[in-house]
A and B are shown apart, each in its own frame.
Chain A
């Protein structure tokens, strides 16, 4: 069964450094998402991406965050200058076409900011 993949599984970085989290969505999917989950808390929406542009973003997704689909397969989340509070599990998700399609999640990248 096709699945969403994410790399790396764990990223450790120093505060103020830039990080790029990578995702490969399911190949025929059109909608892409990033969510985050701070340890022990709920999964929170960050941003959605469709037709090569951001379709919606949350208050969490400020100017320090950006997303990109640099080629036909990868979908990346960049955090420009990491803060301690960015430490979380980041999940990529993708959906085929419409609201009747399931949103599939990747295994996540655990980001630790020191």
Chain B
């Protein structure tokens, strides 16, 4: 019930294309859904996050779509650039537990080719 399932495992997109990564969760108590970007040798860095009271959040080229009834959320990267090549992790958090720990998906390795 604590799992967050992420797909695809890897993704290759042409420069300028749209990258789409999907996540699904089971625990309806989760109330915060961030996406982290990780470059090789670095720690995860927060990219964008959403709470279940909205269905979409956009920041620049990055958009989260959230479907509460389906318990799914996705990251869309518009106009993908080679600099976006990284591993992307979706995560979920339950604030009611007090510790605000993150449960991560398995990650998607994105390669944007020129």
Interface residues of A (CB under 8 A from B): 4, 31, 33, 35, 41-45, 48, 50, 55-56, 91, 93, 95, 98-99, 102-108
Q: Does B61 contact A (CB under 8 A)?
A: no
Q: Are A33 and B104 touching (Cβ within 8 A)?
A: no
Known contacts being A42-B106, A42-B107, A44-B104, is A4 close to B43, with CB within 8 Å? yes
**B43: min CB distance to chain A, Å:** 4
Known contacts being A4-B43, A105-B44, is A56 close to B101, with CB within 8 Å? yes
Q: List 4 other contacts, CB 8 Å, given A43-B107, A50-B98, A103-B34.
A: A41-B106, A45-B103, A48-B101, A93-B43
Considering residues A48, A91, A98, A99, which has the most beta carbons from chain B within 10 angstroms of its beta carbon?
A: A99
Determine the chain B residues whose CB is within 8 A of the CB of A48 once the complex forms: 99-101
Q: Does B62 contact A (CB under 8 A)?
A: no
Interface residues of B (CB under 8 A from A): 31-32, 34, 36, 41-46, 49, 89, 91, 93, 95, 97-107
Determine the chain B residues whose CB is within 8 A of the CB of A105 once the complex forms: 36, 43-45
Determine the chain B residues whose CB is within 8 A of the CB of A102 once the complex forms: 34, 46, 49
Determine the chain B residues whose CB is within 8 A of the CB of A41 once the complex forms: 106
Considering residues B31, B34, B101, B105, which has the most beta carbons from chain A within 10 angstroms of its beta carbon?
A: B101
Within 8 Å by CB of A45, from B41, B42, B46, B102, lies: B102
Q: Are B102 and A103 touching (Cβ within 8 A)?
A: yes
Q: List 9 A-B contacts (CB under 8 A).
A: A4-B43, A41-B106, A42-B105, A43-B102, A45-B102, A103-B34, A103-B100, A107-B41, A108-B41
Chain A residue at smallest Cβ distance from B95: A99
Determine the chain B residues whose CB is within 8 A of the CB of A104 once the complex forms: 46
Known contacts being A42-B89, A42-B107, A44-B104, is A50 close to B41, with CB within 8 Å? no
**B34: min CB distance to chain A, Å:** 8
* Cα of A4 to Cα of B42 in the assembled complex, Å: 12
